[in-house]
């Protein structure tokens, strides 16, 4: 049986095994917008609470904010306008107080609508698949050494004279040199 009493001191709760102190989860107090911001800020890198320009552009593209009205050039200029002078990254508070109102006025939407667009998105990885290459993928078109299985670093008869000397009986004379075929 586990009992928690808010009026008991923490050291008393920790001392006795029937009482357990459960600290509040710091992530439960974050808004959905802040969770999305931090997810995009740390996509493909170490967890971060600050966002650089490339992650900012990725966030706006995946939230479908970048389009005909709000272009990627607008996103780059907005990022430069939001960030502090000399800084490379923006914080969540800078984004929320300066960035969202600018995006909303450009898109002719409310701040809440823009926040909802960003909150509902999450970062995705977009990979590419290579096309078929005729002479690389079709092994029936291989020629030369590649047709025979490729080069080898192990000789077939290494270490013996049989691999070095040509000992065909019909084409050599008494000295072991090849004779001309007529």
Burial 39-51, CB ≥16 within 10 A → b, else e: ebbbbeeeeeebb
**pLDDT per residue over 68-85, tens digit each?**
999 999 999 999 999 999
Whole-number Å distance between alpha carbons of 156 and 87: 64
Claim: this prediction has a pTM higher than 0.75: no
CATH node for 30-119: 1.10.238.10
Mean pLDDT of the chain: 79
Evaluate the CA torsion angle 64, 70, 72, 75 in order and state its sign: negative
**Tokens 């590649």 identify what position?**
146
**pLDDT per residue over 162-179, tens digit each?**
666 655 555 667 776 766
Give me the pLDDT at residue 24, please.
55
3-state secondary structure (DSSP) of residue 117: helix
């Amino acid at each position: 049986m586990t009992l928690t009493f808010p009026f008991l001191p923490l050291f008393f709760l920790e001392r006795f095994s029937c009482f357990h102190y459960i600290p509040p989860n710091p992530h439960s107090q974050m808004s959905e917008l802040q969770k999305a911001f931090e997810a995009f800020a740390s996509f493909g890198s170490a967890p971060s609470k600050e966002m650089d320009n490339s992650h900012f552009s990725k966030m706006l593209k995946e939230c479908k904010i970048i389009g005909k009205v709000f272009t990627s050039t607008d996103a780059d200029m907005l990022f430069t306008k939001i960030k502090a002078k000399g800084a490379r990254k923006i914080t969540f508070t800078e984004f929320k107080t300066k960035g969202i109102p600018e995006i909303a006025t450009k898109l002719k939407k409310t701040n809440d609508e823009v926040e909802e667009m960003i909150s509902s998105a999450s970062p995705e990885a977009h990979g590419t698949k290579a096309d078929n290459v005729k002479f690389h993928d079709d092994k029936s078109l291989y020629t030369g050494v590649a047709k025979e299985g490729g080069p080898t670093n192990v000789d077939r008869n290494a270490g013996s004279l049989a691999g070095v000397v040509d000992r065909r009986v019909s084409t050599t004379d008494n000295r072991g040199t090849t004779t001309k075929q007529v």
